[in-house]
Structures are given as C-alpha cells and as structure tokens.
Structure 1
Amino acid sequence: MEVPVSEDPKAEAVEGLEEVPVQLGRQRPTLTRFAPENPKPIEITDPVEITVDGRTMTVQNGDLLIDAVERHGVYIPRFCYHPRMEPVGMCRMCLVEIEGPRGTALLPSCMQRVSDGMVVNAESPGALKAQDGVIEYLLINHPLDCPVCDKGGECPLQDQSMAYGPGESRFVEEKRHYEKPISLSETVYLDRERCILCDRCTRFADEVAGDPLITFMNRGNNTEIATFPDEPFASYFSGNTVQICPVGALTAKPYRFKARPWDLTEVESTCTSCSVGCRVTVQSSRDELLRLQGVDSDPVNWGWLCDRGRFGFEANKTDRILQPMARSGGELAPVRWSEAYSAAVAAIKSSLDHGGPDSIGVLGGARLTNEAAYAWTKLAKGVWGTDNVDAQLGDGLPAELALGLPAATIDDVCEPGGTVLYLGPDPREELPVLYLRLRHAVTTDRVTLINAAAVPGSLDGLARVSLGVPMGELGRAVAALLGVGSEPSGSVNPQLLSEAAKLIEGEGPLRVVLGRRSLSEGYGPVADAVAAIREARPDATFLTALRRSNVRGALELGMAPGLLPGRMTLDAGRDYFSGYWHTVPATAGLDAAGIVEAAADGRISTLILLGADPISDLVADVDAVAALERATVISLATHHSDSTLVSDVVLPVSAHGEVGGTTVNMEGRVTALGRRVTTPGSTRADWVIAAELSERLGTDLGLTSIEAIDSEIEHAVPTFAGADLGKLEDPGRQDGVVVPILDDVAWTEAGLPDRLSFEPGDPTQVPAISSYSLRLVLVRRLYDSGTMLDSMPSSRPLTVAPEARLNPADFSPLGVDEGANLTLRTPSGAITVPARSDEAVARGNLELSGAAQAGALALCDPDAPLTEVRIETVDGGLS
C-alpha cells in the first residue's frame, strides 16, 4: 500500500527507497517510501481516537500502535517487528514517547496497544535521539560493505541509517570479524558480522514454522545466531528467514551475488509447485529468472513460501528441452517445429481415421495454465470428440469429490474457534504453506483440530486428538466418530473416538480437509468418509487437499472423464456445449489407469502427455512402459522424464515465469500468473500448440491469445462467469476470486444445467488383513525425487532416499535385520528397498517413503481400499 507523502520527512522514510539524497550531519533527508510490510486496511469495529504528533486519528481499539499509525501514513522505523509474528521489542528502533498519568515515557510502539485518548509523540526530541542512538549502536560493528552485500539497495538498516541515523559515527575502532559465510543448510548462508540480533529468523523458525533449529548463542557483545551441533537448519521454510532478514546476515545460495536489487524487474505471480497457490513476485535480470519472493496474500500464504516453491525457478534454467524432437531410426533427434507438427498430426489423423475418437487419450493438465487447460479440453473433447482425458494420474480424488461438495476456503478452515477434521495427506510434506496456516490457527486462533492420519506426521503435535485410523478403515472410523452407520469402528481406539466426537459436537461449523491420506489407500474409504459426514453434518464444508499445482483448474475446465467445463457432467452439459464447441463426446471416457491399459492393449493408438510422466507417477497396477512403447506418444514437456525418453514426438513448452494466464488453487481461488522472461530456445506455450495442431487438422479453435481464451472461458464456462480474468493483476484484485462465482440460486435462475454433485455409493468392503502380509502406507515427502527437483541444483542434495520403515516389534517375527534390503511384493509387482526400524510406525504397517524413486506407485490400485504387501529378503527367502 503506498502511503501519501506527508509534510513530516520522518514519516516518509522506509524500506525500498526510490530517491535518497546524500546528506551529512544530523539533518534528515526527504525520502519517498514504499513499505512492502505495511499493514493492509482493516474494518474498524471498535473505534477509538488517539493523538499522534498533534494529529487525531481514528483507529481500531487494541491494535498495535505501530500498525495503527501506519494505516494513517505515519511510519515508525523498526527492525525486529514483523506483522505476521508476535512482537518482542528487541531492537528498540520503534521507540516513541507516550504520555501517561505518571508523565511521558519512551516505549516501543510494537508492544503498545492503542486505547482511547492515547497521546503519542513520534517526533519529539527524545524519540529522535533514541532512534539516533539505536542506529549508532547497531553500526558500531556492522560492516559497511553495502556495495558487495546482497541486501544492498533493499536493506532497512541502510535506508533507516540515512533517514533516522545521526549521519556520522563517533567510532573509529576496528569492527569485529568472523569467518564467513557459514552454511546453515543447503540453501541458506549466514554472515555473522552483519547480524543485528533482531530475532526475526529465530522467531519465524520457532513461532511460524515450528522448526526451532536456529537460536542465539553466547552473551553480550558475543551473541550470535547459530544452529545446534551437527544439526543443520533443515527446515522446509528456511528461505523465509532470508526474505525477512532486515540486513544481509542471511543469504540464499541460488541468488547470492547474482544481481543487485536495482537490476531486477519483477511481476506478481502465483507459485505452481503445489496446489496452495502462494502469491509471489517473480524477479529477473538480463532476461533470466533469479529470485522468487513471497507476497503477503491475506487469504492464502501470508507472505510465506516453502523452499521447494521458492527455489523452484532453478529448474527453469537447468536441463530444459529447448527444441522439438521426433523419433527417427529408434532415436529421438532434434527437428524443426514444422516436422514435429507433421509427425504429431499424422499420428492423430491416423487414429481418428482408423479407430475414431476413442483411440486417442490425453493424460495430464495439472501443470497447465487455465487457458491451456481449456484449449486442450476444447481440442480433445470439442474437436476430436474423445473423452479419454484425465488431468490426474490416480493420485488425486474423483471429480465428484473434488468439485461436488460444499466448499471451504483456507480462511474458513483457519477461522478462529472453529473445528477441523483433517482427512488428508501430511500437509507439511505435500502442502507446506497450508501447514503453516493450520499451525497458526491451532496455536494462536484456538482452532480445534482432529487428525485422522494413518501414520505419525506433522499434525500430531497440533491436533487435540490424533485418531490413528489404519489404512482402508477411514470410512468406518468417520462413521463411528459421527454416530452413523452400523458397521464396527475397526481398530481405532474407542476412547479416542469418544474424545473426538465430543469436540465435533461443539458449537460452530465443521470444516473438513479432504484428500488422499496415502496413495496406497483407494478412493472408496475416502468416499465412505464423505458420505458419513454428509449424513451426520449437512452443514460441513470441505477443502480439497489435492497436491498437483493446477489440478483444480484442470478439473474445473473439464479435464476428467465424463466431465465438461463448469462442473457439468457429459450428459447434463451436452446440449449446452454444443452451442460453443464443434462436437461433444458421445460417451464417457477412461480415467488415467484405463487410458494406459487401453494403450497397452492397442485400443488407444495415440497418447498425448501434457506434462505427465505415467511411467514414474501413475498410481495403478498397469504396465505404463508397455503402453508407451505400443502407442504413438506425443509429449509436451519442459524437462525430459522417463516418459519423454520413450515418446515419439517431444514438444518443448514454456515454464513458470515464461507464460501468462491464470491458475486455480486448492480452494478454487483463481489468480494471475505473471510472465517475466522470454521462453528459452524454441519453446512454445501449451495453448499455442493446441491451437496449431487443431488448425493443421483442419479446425480453427478460435483461440488466438490468452485474452481471447479468457473471454471464451467467461462466456462458455458458467463457474467462471464474472471472474474478469484479464484484470486479476489490477491493484486490489491480486488475491483473486473464488469460483464458482454464481451461487446455487443464481445458477438455477440462469437455467444452467445441473452441476456435478457427490452421490454416496455402496460402502467399501475392506478385506481382512492376512497374517502373512503388511498394510502398505506410501508416504510422500517434499523432497521426493522427481523431474523438477532433479533439475534444482541447490535443492537436489535434499532428495529423500527410499526406505521401508517397520515397527521394531515386526522385525523379529519377519526375520528382518536393520538396514537389510527387502523386496516388497504385491500381485502387481515388486520393488527392493532398505529396511529401517521406527517405533512411530504401528504394528502391521509398512511405511514406504521416497515412493517416486522406488517405483512403488505401480504397486497400488486407487480402486482398491488398501494395498497389502508381502516381504521377501533379497536372497529370496520369505519373511
């Protein structure tokens, strides 16, 4: 928020100076301000009047003084204060004089709550002298290496030394020196000489992230930031400490010495590493992405990012596919775009001529923008007439669960005093910033959390009750929790169920976070749980915890079998879309597993992969390698994967920061994607390829630009009606809009076809566990190996190695030794991984991490309630 320039020069001095006149002595320069941490306007519900430097202000009763006056354009300097953390008053830079019954006192404004009649003097001689003294004290030992410091040009200490400091120093002694830099982690470096002990980094690690891995060490003048012995700063959120550090004490390895702030140009965008949809600024110099910074989006990420999302831009510059490739003589070789298009068109035309629309399959879409997802949906379903389209690879939720339930936003789930039933994956590993929001909701806003995870995870210390629901038993456990159904509750502790039931019976709405707890648990138990919740608590709302970045947007725009854009089923929306498209599929198509199986059988002859890698990522007991070898595969990708390497045509596409458009996060919030750099090589946007293929096949999609696609989406897709997609970058709209825009009443009044809804089916039959097998729990980690992580040099060393964890009590009966290599076998196949003991794993379970590397996804079937594995030692003996 830009604050108007006042007559008070001190009120105009802040971070991010546009003009800094060089002046010596104690005269304070006039500065132009831009405050990225400036509090946003709030609704005043309990107004009080205070007086600041003779000026009367109406503010919210109980607000912190430093925030209240800033909303009126009065900036009080600070170092330690951050609006998203509890104040500590450590730096003393925000001292002001406050009049009280016992006289005037110098007090830190970040610790004082406003009250009616408060009189504040922020410009008094005493306050100015105190600020002069703080700056002079900090500069006693702080090195004056601004020209080589990464923070130079965007440093609050640098700015405030000019605006609030004495202008000269009385100290001539040698400054202290330390070894530098110190590597706190793979991505964060510490320069101890620059640290001003503001406590921002340590408070963030402890209060916000829950990772108290850095702390103060020593005393007095020797106090410094340090990690614990032999424990690196191994936090998923360490990059946030670099962003909020007010000096250059903490720097990020991917950005260190790459550019100066005045060299950078930036655009606001959305992170696409997962479905939380954190708002970011994409910064570049010399047409190269150099940094992502978090933006304080109040309904989403509060300025925080996970490290995988923050440093994911490195993949844009490493191992990219830069030109089209086609298979010739059994090898992929670079070709011109015209040759690649000709090869792709020939394969598609042959399939349409000989096998009809059903002989074409399209996999993927979660990596696409909304505009690209609509273009490909229109091409596949509205031109070719195939419904064999699936944006998910068996690793999400069916469309009726993802889109057909009463929706909750992240803010709804984190509403103070609410109750949350968590039925999803470990958020810290799969949806990291959602974990930060949930953590704050529980620790600060009195949210009651009930966790139904199958294995211990990040929510155990936050939840009032952790039920520990075994694999496959989610439906019957939730039914028992809510007192519906007649089936037994399974093996969940009855006392825990009773405690959780009492919490749910409390006042207020029930919010449910819904996802796949593990990929080794099928859709059935999840659907059973939803059916029980809908029966017992019709007022419950759901936040869908889907992992892939824009999978929600792809589903909203029809990239699922039996679905059309706007949450319409194929039958309900056929007549409606006949007015917009050339054709509409005649029958419902196959899901991802069915498409791959049909390709292996020869029923699908052309398979198009939109950023998908079914060989590594498909959750199904089918042979994806055989399918891709038999079909003609056209792959649109940014990097090579196992699937592109066996493709017949590879088309290079634009990545994050290289293409504009919009995306949809897990709650249905549509936000803008900013384009900052030119696409490298001869890569092209996904929607451009769709339009070109359509034209070469003799049909005009009518989609000539992102603006044209947005216009058609708003007209043809009722859930996006009124979204005004082209203006989401305008001031005040960067937080986006939540779809569907029309409520149920407006939808019906407009005469639109019925929207998709969840209909309960028959209860899932959970098989009895054999004494000769264990229940498999696939655990995904933030740093599981994958195509993108392998292309991130700074984060690649953090890759998690695959291993099987068992309860120590299971080792002896199975005849297994710690560290032994085990073969895990199911009817679908087998993999070999090392064994580790872990008391946190329940008896009878086998927890497998690093599943992507291990190839364990092929052991699972999303249609089966659970996956059982038998263990063999590597020498072939049955354990």
Structure 2
Amino acid sequence: MTDTASTAEQPEAPAPDPNAVQVTINGVPHTARKGQLVIEAAADAGEYVPRFCYHERMAPVGKCRMCLVEADSGRGPAVTVSCMVQVAPDMKINTESPTVKRMQEGVLELLLANHPLDCPVCDKGGECPLQDQAFSHGPGESRFVEEKRHYEKPIPISELVFLDRERCILCDRCTRFASEVAGDPLIHFTSRGNNTQINTFPDEPFASYFSGNTVQICPVGALTAKPYRFKARPWDLEETESTCTSCAVGCRTVVQSSRDELLRYQGVDNDAVNWGWLCDKGRFGFESTNSESRLQAPAVRDGDGFASTTWNDALDRAAALIKSAVAAGGASSVGIIGGARGTNEDAYAWARLAHDVIGTPNVYAHLADALRSEILDLPRATINEAASATTIVLLAPDLKEELPVLYLRLRDAAEKKRSRIIEFTARRSGLSKYAWKSIVSRPGDEAEAVRQALTDPEIAAQIGRGNVVVVAGKANLAALGTLQTDAVLKVLEAWPGAKVLPAYRRGNVVGAIQVGMSPGPGGNSTAKILADAAAGTVKCLVLVGVDLVSDFPDAQTVESALSSGVSVIAVDTFLSPTAQRAHVVLAAAAAGEKSGTVTNIEGRVQTVAQKINVAGTSRPDWMIATELASRLGTDLGFTSVDSVTEAIAASVPAYAGITPAALRDARDGLLAVPAPTGTLQQSGQQAPPASGYDYRVLVSRELYDLGVNNQMSPSLAGLARGMRIHMNPVDLERVGVPAGGSVRITTERGSRVLTVHPDSGLARWTVWMPFNQPGGGVNDLISASGIVADARIETV
C-alpha cells in the first residue's frame, strides 16, 4: 500500500472544543472549561484549594481570602482569589507557592485571633473546615495573647437553629443561602468593622423552611441545629446514603445514626434533584422514627382499647376479617387504601395482595389530595427539564408548602432568568413574586382563566418561544380536581409538545400508583371506596399507613365509613386517630428502618436504606403483605426486599431493567416513566351555582401540620401555625369585620367560628383555610366529591 493511500485512510482529527481552555496547574497541563473559576478548575485537576466562603451552589463573594493562588496570565505571577477569577488560555496556576502558603497562614491566624478554642465542646468538632485547615495550612501557633471577643451564647435565632456569634468567621454562606437560594433574607450582617456579626432582624426569627441548610454549610460551629446539639461526635456516627420520603421530590440524603438511633440527616448534592438542599421537615422529621410512641408490636382490639399480641395471632385475625368480607360480599367487598408512605416494594406487595390474591379493584394510594392518577400517563418532565424550561406553567398548590425543594429549583430558574413562570392560582404562592405572570382567579375558574390567557398575544408568544413544562397538582382540597385537570389539558391542547411534572405531595405516591396501588381505568376513587363502606358494600378496609380521620379531606364520609360496622385493619407506625378505630393493628417499620426503592414526581427511582433496627417487632410492609397473602392461600414468593425489586422489574413495564444491581451503579437513580397514553380527556364540567353561598372555599396544606410524623418529631411539633381563615381585604371590609376578628363560616357540611386575617393575594369572593391545623381540622366543612365548595360568611 502506498504512503498516499495510507494517509487517506487516516480518520480526520476531531474539531477543537471551543469551550476548552488549556491551563497549567502546579506544573501539570490541564484542560479547563471556558468561564470556569480557577478554584473549580483546580478541583477538577485534583488540587484542593482551601476555602470557607466559596460554595459551588452559590455565587462567589471572595470574602474569606483563604482560596488564594498565584496565577500568571502572561504578565507574571500575581496572587489572586481563585473563587473570583476565571481561567484564561495558557494561564499558569500555582496553589502551593511559598507566597500563597504564607498568606494563607496569615488569614488563618487572623481568623483564629478571636475564635474560641472550644473544639472539645463544639458540635462542629471533628468535621470543621476551620479546624482541618488550621492543621493543614495554619502557622501552628498564635501570636495573639490578648482577651478574645465574647458574646452571649448561644442565642436561638429560630425554633430549630442556635447561633454562637463568637465562632462566626463572617464567611457569608448563611446569609447568601437565605437570600440567594431560599429567598428568605431573614439573617444578615449587623454592625460594622470589628463588631460585625451575623444576626436576625429585631423581633423577627429566622423563620425559613430551609434553615437547616445554613447549619450544614456553615464552615464552623456558629450555627447548630437544636435536634443534634450535643448528641454525638462525627466519629461516633455511622452513615448511609438514602432518599427523603417526607414529600415526593425525592431529595438525596445521608442518614446518620449512633447506638441504633437516628441522629441526623444531611443533604447530598444530587444534580438531578435537590442540589444538596433539604427542607427542615425532611431534615428533622426523622425524630418520629425514634419516638417512644411508636408501635412496638401488633395489637388487637380489646373492648375500648388494644392488647398487644403475637404476629401469628394478629395476621390470623386480619386474614379472617378479609375472608369473612369476601365470603359475605365477594372480592370487591375489600378495600385497600394507602401505600404512599412506604417503598415501591411495600406498595407492590400490597398491590399483588389486592389484585392477585383477593381480586378486589378497590385499591388506591391517593387520599383525594392529588389530581387523578391518569395525570401520570401524560408526557412527563424531569425536575431538570422543568428548571430549564423556557416557560413553566404553574397549575398547582403552593410548592413552597408542599414540595419545598422543587420550589427552590423553580425559584432559581426564574431568578437566574432561565425560565419564565406563568402561574394560575386562587391565592398568591411562594413563587408568585418570581412569576412573569401571576393570574389570580376563583377556585373552579382555572380552566376559564387558562382559556382567556391563551388568547393573550404576549403569553402565546412566550409559550411559543421554546419548551413548556406544566407543573400540575391539586391546588384546592375542597374541590374534586376535575376543573384543575381540565385546565392542564387546555394547556397541552394548545401546546402539544408541553410536558407535565405532577405536583404530588405524598412521599412515594407516584411509585405506589405505578407499581399497582391504583384501581386502573374506571376504578373507584378513595372517596367512592369509603362511600361504599358507609353503604355496607365494602365490608373490610385495609389502611396502609394512612390516617383518614385527620388527613382525608372529607370527615363526614370517613366517619360514616368507620361507623358502618366495617372491619378495619390498620398497618401503621403509630396508633393514629384512625388506627384507634381499627380491629387489628399491624406494626410497620418506619423510614430509616427498611430498605428498598422509591419513585419521585418525575419518575426517578432511587434507593432508600435501612440504618437502624426496627422498633420492637415491627416489620416492613412488603413482609406483612406477603405473610397475609400466605394466610389467604397464595405464596407471593418474596423472600427479601431485593426479590420484590426484581419482581417489579420483571412485571411492571416502566420499571424494566431497574434491578438492585442496576441501581447500585446509578447514583442519581433511574427513570421509570410509563409511555404516554393520551387517554385523559377534559371533563367538560363547570362549577354549579352557589345556591345562597357567596364565597368559594379554598383549602390547602402548609408544611407543618398535625400529621402524625410531624407531631411525633419534637422539634417540628410546635411549628404548625394553627387554624384560621383568610379573606381579601375588600371582602373583609364588606363583611364589616376587622383583621383579627371572628367570623362564622357555613358550608353544606357544617359551620365554625374562626379568626379572620386579611390576604391581599387571595381572589375576591374566596375564603382560604389551611388543612389539618391545631384548633380544628377543616375537613368537617368540605367534601371530597364536590366539584367546588361554597360558603357563607357571617359576623359573630
């Protein structure tokens, strides 16, 4: 072969990457990215540059001056702050020169001049960047012999966070997080010069849903968390990575324990989901797992109370109740409600028990607090797709209250101008002030508001600019949700390429539905199952981790069902108000006590890990369902949690290939999204006439409420704001009641006197009330089956 032919066969060299920047770091060539900070390029090259103020998820400020390096861009070496300078072509970077080391020693000496040497009693001791860098980069001794600065210590700046000002090094991490990430600028610098310190505004606590993040990112022990203070040392802790199940966002966490007790949750920087952030409910809610009120063993009714019993006896009695119901009324006389609290494996085992063993269609993981499960069959968006969409259409509840970390992601998208938010709401939400358009309308008028908005040339042009994601969820617990669903479908009809991110709240409700805890097309809703129980058609209810009495938005239907003579089997971690009405109570393992997988709102399957032993003799749900099936004559074949995961992968099409082995190699999880079906159609319904009731009722959740897990976490139990009613100031003036006065609200279901507050962000002729709050739940005033709910407001 000739040389010419040989040359011709050589592949063409790839085109140079326009974003590549060639630099030298400590004498070693390295390819950095255009626009990359020097501190980031050094990290990619394996060279650690010490830092205190820099955080990869926040804008750099260059305050601590610890990340000094020598950089030469062609004019000779100069000391520069590596978190503030971007790489340049042919830049020579030295992170270890004598000049740099000498200056870093000086920075540390000055930081330690007034810093208390109380490492043996500081909660940060053993995991403190200041402590570590004092050893690795410090001078080794101090020339400062004068009295150090002293402040009152510690001071509580919120119900969850303590501040020790003596330890603060003014790195600006907490203040930047509060204002830049959380949008809660409630902690800031006060005074000037040598007296500069971190504090809150006078008489205004650090009342942020995300305050625990400031504790995690604080590089010293200035901020400490009440639930963890003086509980353990880092070297006493054992840890494993898991997934938070406080809501359905699916934040990745590190679960830490000592002596078989959960002690701390820390956020993991997962680029696909939570970016390292956690809400305080997810961070501190683990306390419920440690509660002394946990069910330790199964129990059976004994007169007006309960008697502990063996698992064999409890399961035999539960099986007998199911058999009796089937014998009296057929398979459909059994209803199984719940499953969103547990893992995919738990839900799959209960679904198999319902569909394959008993044969009942009456199974649902929804508690009438989310849009129909057919929403999951629409084209699904990921969280990253939503946070990078040109247009985000919000037809959902207040995400700050129900899906807090999703709120952070979408707020970041709007603040950084990546996305424009178009919000349709009856009451201004946490995202309203970041929305490009916030369209306020009465509950039930959402579809009409969308129809009118679609005729606006400005909105039409915005949506036509790029990709659209609709965040869809049930914004009103006092309504059936069909009109909200119709509004979502109108958006998809106008822009067929739009995707949907379902704003479902309960921890694993998406996973539970996708693996079988749903009745299928045309099946009964939870409200219908309960109505059938009240009518005597359903004779046995199996309640899997649900508290219907407190948490179902229709107290009348629940009471009618539970008072009808129906047999009740409760599978729970606590003796909740609903479990107290049961005939058999089966003690279930809680979060942190079992392994498996969960599926978040985008369909991302992630692992959860067992960190401590179960309370008493409680068992994971999948095991309870398997043993109950055995007593009903069917062997489900599950011998371990992995065997259930394998069965899901083999039988649920969306989960094909999502095996334990595959998940071990997928740190960010794997997506399990069913193929879109397009079967969901607009209902064509409209809100009925008010019939003498002037005001439309809006009911939604707040982050802290009377939920069992919330109330069994001592640090969170007192944070619920209490029952009240909000009205637009114009409506309040018309009624003639001052702010803070009392009004009587009357609906078709009942009447109550409540304290009223003005709310200018609320639609006119609308009243808002929070769900499941101290001072009386609102669920006795509303129905789970009405298209909307209307009320009359009277002075008292």
Give me the TM-score of the superposition, normalised by structure 1. 0.86
Query: Do the aligned partners of 1:514 and 1:542 also contact (CA within 8 Å) in 2?
Result: yes
Query: Do the aligned partners of 2:721 and 2:773 also contact (CA within 8 Å) in 1?
Result: no
Unaligned 5+ runs, structure 2: 1-15
Pair 1:474 & 2:446 matched: yes
Deviations 1:33-71 (A, max 9, x none): xxxxxxxxxx97611100112111111111011011111
Q: 1:581 maps to what in 2?
A: none
Q: 1:708 maps to what in 2?
A: 643
AA at the equivalent of 1:869: A
Residue 411 of structure 2, aligned match among 421, 439, 444: 439
User: Quick one: structure 1 residues 862 and 596, their matched pair in 2 at CA, closer, same or farther if it must change by over 3 Å?
Assistant: closer
Query: Do the aligned partners of 2:105 and 2:139 also contact (CA within 8 Å) in 1?
Result: yes
Larger CA deviation: 588-597 vs 403-412: 588-597
Query: Do the aligned partners of 1:409 and 1:543 also contact (CA within 8 Å) in 2?
Result: yes
Pair 1:500 & 2:473 matched: no
Deviations 1:256-284 (A, max 9, x none): 00000001010100000000010000000
AA at the equivalent of 2:730: A
Q: 1:736 maps to what in 2?
A: 669
SS at match of 1:512: strand
Pair 1:856 & 2:778 matched: yes
AA at the equivalent of 1:501: A
Query: Do the aligned partners of 1:386 and 1:589 also contact (CA within 8 Å) in 2?
Result: no
Q: 2:348 maps to what in 1?
A: 374
Deviations 1:282-301 (A, max 9, x none): 00001100000000000100
Pair 1:310 & 2:283 matched: yes
Pair 1:388 & 2:369 matched: no
Supply the distance in 2 between the matched residues of 1:855 and 1:560 (Cα, whole angstroms). Answer: 27
Q: 1:159 maps to what in 2?
A: 132
Q: 1:826 maps to what in 2?
A: 747
Supply the distance in 1 between the matched residues of 2:779 and 2:162 (Cα, whole angstroms). Answer: 36
Deviations 1:842-876 (A, max 9, x none): 321111124455332343345433210123455xx
Supply the distance in 2 between the matched residues of 1:592 and 1:684 (Cα, whole angstroms). Answer: 26
Pair 1:807 & 2:724 matched: no
Larger CA deviation: 232-241 vs 319-328: 319-328
Supply the distance in 2 between the matched residues of 1:456 and 1:52 (Cα, whole angstroms). Answer: 50
AA at the equivalent of 1:557: V
Q: 2:12 maps to what in 1?
A: none
Q: 1:759 maps to what in 2?
A: 680
Deviations 1:405-461 (A, max 9, x none): 00100100111x611111111111110000110111111142111111111111111
Query: Do the aligned partners of 1:209 and 1:237 also contact (CA within 8 Å) in 2?
Result: yes
Larger CA deviation: 275-284 vs 831-840: 831-840
Percent of aligned pairs sharing the same letter: 49
Q: 1:749 maps to what in 2?
A: none
Residue 868 of structure 1, aligned match among 779, 782, 790: 790
User: Quick one: structure 1 residues 449 and 761, their matched pair in 2 at CA, closer, same or farther if it must change by over 3 Å?
Assistant: closer
Supply the distance in 2 between the matched residues of 1:726 and 1:823 (Cα, whole angstroms). Answer: 59
Supply the distance in 2 between the matched residues of 1:357 and 1:756 (Cα, whole angstroms). Answer: 29
Query: Do the aligned partners of 2:335 and 2:538 also contact (CA within 8 Å) in 1?
Result: yes
Pair 1:134 & 2:68 matched: no
User: Quick one: structure 1 residues 45 and 618, their matched pair in 2 at CA, closer, same or farther if it must change by over 3 Å?
Assistant: farther
AA at the equivalent of 1:542: V
Deviations 1:531-577 (A, max 9, x none): 3223211101010000111000011012112x2xxxxx5xxxxxxxx
Supply the distance in 2 between the matched residues of 1:851 and 1:645 (Cα, whole angstroms). Answer: 18
Give me the TM-score of the superposition, normalised by structure 2. 0.95
SS at match of 1:728: helix
Query: Do the aligned partners of 1:363 and 1:592 also contact (CA within 8 Å) in 2?
Result: yes
Supply the distance in 2 between the matched residues of 1:771 and 1:386 (Cα, whole angstroms). Answer: 41
Q: 1:594 maps to what in 2?
A: 528
Pair 1:364 & 2:338 matched: yes
User: Quick one: structure 1 residues 218 and 815, their matched pair in 2 at CA, closer, same or farther if it must change by over 3 Å?
Assistant: closer
Q: 1:604 maps to what in 2?
A: 538
Q: 1:842 maps to what in 2?
A: 763
Q: 2:505 maps to what in 1?
A: 547
Supply the distance in 1 between the matched residues of 2:692 and 2:103 (Cα, whole angstroms). Answer: 73
Supply the distance in 1 between the matched residues of 2:650 and 2:672 (Cα, whole angstroms). Answer: 14
Residue 699 of structure 2, aligned match among 764, 778, 782: 778
Deviations 1:602-658 (A, max 9, x none): 111110100111112223474312312321111011122210111111111111110
SS at match of 2:107: helix
Query: Do the aligned partners of 2:25 and 2:45 also contact (CA within 8 Å) in 1?
Result: no
Question: How far apart are residue 214 of structure 1 and its match?
Answer: 0.5
Supply the distance in 1 between the matched residues of 2:336 and 2:31 (Cα, whole angstroms). Answer: 58
Question: How far apart are residue 598 of structure 1 and its match?
Answer: 1.2
User: Quick one: structure 1 residues 615 and 831, their matched pair in 2 at CA, closer, same or farther if it must change by over 3 Å?
Assistant: farther
SS at match of 1:692: helix
Query: Do the aligned partners of 2:68 and 2:104 also contact (CA within 8 Å) in 1?
Result: yes
Supply the distance in 1 between the matched residues of 2:419 and 2:610 (Cα, whole angstroms). Answer: 38
Question: How far apart are residue 219 of structure 1 and its match?
Answer: 1.4
Residue 718 of structure 1, aligned match among 647, 653, 659: 653
Deviations 1:669-692 (A, max 9, x none): 000001100001111111111011
User: Quick one: structure 1 residues 45 and 724, their matched pair in 2 at CA, closer, same or farther if it must change by over 3 Å?
Assistant: farther
Deviations 1:135-172 (A, max 9, x none): 11111111111111111111111111111111111222
Pair 1:683 & 2:655 matched: no
Supply the distance in 2 between the matched residues of 1:511 and 1:532 (Cα, whole angstroms). Answer: 13
User: Quick one: structure 1 residues 772 and 623, their matched pair in 2 at CA, closer, same or farther if it must change by over 3 Å?
Assistant: closer
SS at match of 1:56: strand
SS at match of 1:50: strand
Question: How far apart are residue 727 of structure 1 and its match?
Answer: 4.1
Deviations 1:286-337 (A, max 9, x none): 1100000000000100000000110000111122111211111232222222
Q: 1:525 maps to what in 2?
A: 483
Residue 202 of structure 2, aligned match among 212, 229, 238: 229
Residue 46 of structure 1, aligned match among 5, 19, 25: 19
Question: How far apart are residue 764 of structure 1 and its match?
Answer: 1.6
Deviations 1:789-831 (A, max 9, x none): 1111111121110101112332344343443443322223334
SS at match of 1:111: coil
Q: 2:262 maps to what in 1?
A: 289
SS at match of 2:289: helix
Query: Do the aligned partners of 2:735 and 2:795 also contact (CA within 8 Å) in 1?
Result: no
Q: 1:26 maps to what in 2?
A: none
Deviations 1:675-732 (A, max 9, x none): 10000111111111101111122211111111111111111111100122344244xx
Pair 1:423 & 2:395 matched: yes
Supply the distance in 2 between the matched residues of 1:445 and 1:807 (Cα, whole angstroms). Answer: 31
SS at match of 2:718: helix
Query: RMSD in angstroms over aligned alpha carbons?
Result: 1.8
SS at match of 1:363: strand
Q: 2:164 maps to what in 1?
A: 191
Aligned length: 778
Q: 1:32 maps to what in 2?
A: none
Q: 2:7 maps to what in 1?
A: none
Q: 1:3 maps to what in 2?
A: none
Q: 2:737 maps to what in 1?
A: 816
Pair 1:82 & 2:41 matched: no
Residue 410 of structure 1, aligned match among 379, 383, 397: 383
Pair 1:246 & 2:219 matched: yes
Supply the distance in 2 between the matched residues of 1:812 and 1:469 (Cα, whole angstroms). Answer: 20
Unaligned 5+ runs, structure 1: 1-42, 484-496, 564-568, 570-587, 745-754, 875-879
User: Quick one: structure 1 residues 343 and 473, their matched pair in 2 at CA, closer, same or farther if it must change by over 3 Å?
Assistant: same
Supply the distance in 1 between the matched residues of 2:379 and 2:733 (Cα, whole angstroms). Answer: 48
SS at match of 2:532: helix
AA at the equivalent of 1:186: E
